[in-house]
Structure 1
Amino acid sequence: MQENKKRSNTTSRYDDGSAHHCPRCGSSIPAYPHYSAWCDICDWNLQPVASKTVSGQVFKMPPRIGTFFDEYLFKRVLKMRHRLLRLTFLQIIALLSSAIVFGIAGLLFWQSAIFILSENQAQTLGGVILFIILVWSLFPRFDTRPAKRVQTEADEFPMLNRIVRRVASALNTDTPIVMLTEQFTATYARVGIGRHPVLGLGHPFLSILNAKETVSLLAHELSHSQDGAITRSLFVRTALQTARRWKWLASPLLWFRNINPTSFAHYFLLVLSWFLSLFVLPFTILEIVIRFCSYQDSQRAEYVADASSVQVAGTHDTLSLLRKSYYQHLAALRIEYSNAPAHIKFDRLQATLAAIPKREIERVWRIAQRQPTLITGTHPSLQKRIAFLQSLSPQKSLVEITPREFEALQEELAAWPCVIRKRERNWHEELEQEQQDSCEVVPMPSAAD
């Protein structure tokens, strides 16, 4: 009776390591201690955890809308396989919407100038306030350059920087500032007024890749410098930022987050928000349009980066990298990396990955392929990316890492956690010393005073 109760239980976790039966179809399934069980026959326990709607800052859309646009974009990409960098219809819409934002701002500037030059003091004051708001809303915000302490200097990490330069040269792009993080991701951005390229590499992610997958990762991220994404356009980003700021101005409830929701002030601000939202309605609509176009264009840019990665690193290794990018969902890896001491993080990560059953890795991979695409997502669905890579002509790697170079790279990755901890400690000590020095400069009040 106890056995029947156990079989009927729909829990997804078993701890005795023996074979069990699927609670849905009854077929025999292997189970491992501390890992989720799943069925190969009926796909029991392989459904991704997802809500019915996806919340965004502007709109909510059911997942099926994202699936529709994901399928549409995939078909367009297959047709435009060799013309992915051409100006697309959505990019034109985003640029026109951004131009309208600046056009409205220009009209408001003109109106503020009329008010300022008016002889009426109230109009003059209103014109000055409007002018200040316009300057604040239009002022571009640049991503800051990463601090020196998180950058991988060429003298401390020569092999990593050498490989990055080699891949950048193969792609004919600028060599970026390289920084390592503790995230299981990789990013590419342009920061500052000079739009300096910055390559962010997740240390745990980079630590589990082989030599060819490392080249594929670098090629994919550096390809974003040439993907033509409108999200990297200062013109579009500033327009989107301006529309968001005007919408924030029309939402007084966001100014005072700690107000009692049952108080009179809360209801007053709620009515005021409805009233002000009518005046900023054009900015709200334009923000929705620009955001939608930006999300869709970001997904197109991922296809461009995948295609460039295939040209530099080869088809097989690009697919292998795509599979390993979902290892971030392996809980054992995340827990071990977080808890391991700095000097053995790299070794612990390698040992933990080797100990994870292949069936658990396959479970994560299958769930990832069932994950619905969001209309507010920056990446296409995994199934579409796999299909796109398989549709490309097989390529061989243009950049190779020798076994000796890869061994040197792994030594640098093993040393990085201790290096960054030392840098952080020195930075805090210098900061405390500066604070003490500034306190010593200020004279203490005397007893006579």
Structure 2
Amino acid sequence: MTETIKQAEEDRGAQARERDCPTCGQRVPVDRRFVVWCDACEWNVDPGGEQETDPDGGRVERLRRAVAQRHGERLFADLALQPASASPPGTGVSGVVAVALAVAVHGLTVVLAALGLWLLIGRWGEGFQPAIGALLLGLAVLLRPRFGSFTKLRQDAPVLERADAPHLFALLDEVAAAVGTKGVEAVVLGPEANAGVRTYGIRRHRVLRLGLSLWSILDRQERIALLGHEFGHYAHGDTRHGLLVGSALRSLSTWRYVLAPNGGDSLMDLFANLLTALPRWTVHGVTLLLDQATLRASQRAEYLADASAARAAGTDGAAGLMDRLLVMDSAEAALQRETVAARTRIGGPSRGEDREERADGLWERVAAQVASVPQREYERLRRVSELRGHSVDDTHPPTHLRRRHVAQSDHHTPGIVLDASREAAVDGELRQPAQAMARQIVRDGLGA
């Protein structure tokens, strides 16, 4: 706690200076932790705006993000004229096209498997045909629909079940019921500033992935809004969360990885790149077609999920969650700084003691650093969001449009109120696994 207070004092000391705007001359505050900008003429509001926002994403990823932004803007305009619940996502011609493309993707995997088996077994001993068959069969196995392993999930991350956290699961069940769906069978904790509900295995076990960096920076109603949004995807039948289309998108992602060009300059690399060029661009084309067929439905589902969040947590809680999405990078950066500080201070005979000391209160320090972000920085990020079309990823509408839609829709009072005693009970159930994760991060780093 002493270190948290010290950090807050240092943060306050980083502020309280001013300078003249070089464009319009207005006095602007200077906080060395954040970008200095002018709210009158928007000088320096987005100093990185000319740079590529996703330099490592590749041409296809940049195109997908641009298409997603255009879809989000058009959809927002449409929703201003009609209710978001006018029609469920994934219906109409685009829904039929998406299903047809998904069936084609999985059909190709079946064809590869059948052809591979025939060449391997039916042509055994006939030249290279069995070897080609084994290759095709292996490719089909690699591209098969993946349902995820609930058993493996338990081995890779801290997992809470109902007996471990009855208050948490009671809250999850209540939020899920409020938005019209069922709860989850398990909660998986992670360090990231994110959250999501996924299904695993043939039996479709529903699991909530809860990123502690995000959970720690939210207030009570923002936490309800987060849960309401994630459960809202299942309540409204989001196409990309479905088994058929979702697994097809993952298969296409695997295709793109398999067919990615080699980075070498040798003759063999150039020949391999030339040989895979046609199938590679075919996969890119099918991916973009499936994106086009599902993006509008997926973004509509996001707006519907936001509406579910507003009904569960109230309009103010849902709008607050949208603001927190703008500072997710700050939460992740705070965790990274904490990790680096812990690993550089650990050493000598008191190594174990130092590790425990740094792990203690890790999530509270991350939350304190994000809490010190001034409202002026939130305003700058909102303006940057409008300039860049910021979104969580290429399946989400721009964040500023999501917030505006929540604010302009019917005002909701909280359907579920998370009071202090209930929050304390939930936090108490999360404390031990969260502390265990903090110790792991301090010991092994975020990349472990």
Conserved? CA contact 1:97–1:290, under 8 Å: yes
The separation in 1 between residues aligned to 2:209 and 2:130, in whole angstroms, is 47
**Aligned equivalent of 1:175:** 183
**Aligned equivalent of 1:5:** none
Please, which of 80, 85, 97 is the counterpart of residue 82 of structure 1?
85
**Aligned equivalent of 1:214:** 223
**Aligned equivalent of 1:408:** 425
Query: What is the CA-CA distance between 1:236 and the residue it aligns to?
Result: 2.3
Secondary structure of residue in 2 paired with 1:29: strand
Query: What is the CA-CA distance between 1:244 and the residue it aligns to?
Result: 4.9
Conserved? CA contact 2:327–2:370, under 8 Å: no
**Aligned equivalent of 1:141:** 146
Q: How does 1:172-321 map to 2 (within 5 A)?
A: 172-176=180-184, 177-245=186-254, 253-254=261-262, 259=264, 261=265, 266-278=266-278, 282-321=282-321
Query: What is the CA-CA distance between 1:318 and the residue it aligns to?
Result: 0.8
**Larger Rg belongs to:** 1
Give the 3 Å change call, closer, same or farther, for CA 33–292 of structure 1 in structure 2.
same
Deviates more, 1:101-110 or 1:343-352: 101-110
Conserved? CA contact 1:168–1:222, under 8 Å: yes
The separation in 2 between residues aligned to 1:354 and 1:52, in whole angstroms, is 29
The separation in 2 between residues aligned to 1:376 and 1:292, in whole angstroms, is 15
Give the 3 Å change call, closer, same or farther, for CA 121–351 of structure 1 in structure 2.
closer
Give the 3 Å change call, closer, same or farther, for CA 272–43 of structure 1 in structure 2.
same
Q: Does 1:93 align with 2:92?
A: no
Please, which of 401, 404, 415 is the counterpart of residue 387 of structure 1?
404
Identity %: 24
Secondary structure of residue in 2 paired with 1:74: helix
Unaligned runs of 5+ residues in structure 1 are 1-13, 426-449
Give the AA of the match of 1:74.
Answer: F
**Aligned equivalent of 1:24:** 23
The separation in 2 between residues aligned to 1:231 and 1:324, in whole angstroms, is 24
Q: Does 1:44 align with 2:49?
A: no
Conserved? CA contact 2:73–2:397, under 8 Å: no
The separation in 2 between residues aligned to 1:217 and 1:361, in whole angstroms, is 19
Query: What is the CA-CA distance between 1:94 and the residue it aligns to?
Result: 1.5
Give the 3 Å change call, closer, same or farther, for CA 57–147 of structure 1 in structure 2.
farther
The separation in 2 between residues aligned to 1:280 and 1:329, in whole angstroms, is 33
Secondary structure of residue in 2 paired with 1:231: helix
Give the AA of the match of 1:210.
Answer: D
**Aligned equivalent of 2:354:** none
Deviates more, 1:141-150 or 1:37-46: 141-150
Query: What is the CA-CA distance between 1:83 and the residue it aligns to?
Result: 2.8
Conserved? CA contact 1:216–1:313, under 8 Å: yes
The separation in 1 between residues aligned to 2:53 and 2:325, in whole angstroms, is 25
Q: Does 1:165 align with 2:173?
A: yes
Give the AA of the match of 2:434.
Answer: P
Give the AA of the match of 2:423.
Answer: F
Please, which of 150, 154, 167 is the counterpart of residue 158 of structure 2?
150
**Aligned equivalent of 1:68:** 70
Q: What RMSD over aligned residues (CA atoms) do the two structures have, in Å?
A: 3.8
Give the 3 Å change call, closer, same or farther, for CA 238–162 of structure 1 in structure 2.
closer
Deviates more, 1:229-238 or 1:279-288: 279-288
Give the AA of the match of 1:232.
Answer: H
Query: What is the CA-CA distance between 1:59 and the residue it aligns to?
Result: 5.8
**Aligned equivalent of 1:396:** 413
Secondary structure of residue in 2 paired with 1:393: coil
**Aligned equivalent of 1:10:** none
Q: Does 1:359 align with 2:359?
A: no
Q: How does 1:420-435 map to 2 (within 5 A)?
A: 420=437
**Aligned equivalent of 1:439:** none
Report the TM-score, using the length of structure 2 for normalisation. 0.76
In the TM superposition, what whole-angstrom CA distance separates every residue of 1:249-269 from its partner, at most 9, and x where no partner exists? 555x54xx6x5x2xxxx2233
Unaligned runs of 5+ residues in structure 2 are 1-12, 343-357, 443-448
Conserved? CA contact 2:191–2:213, under 8 Å: yes
The separation in 2 between residues aligned to 1:186 and 1:164, in whole angstroms, is 13
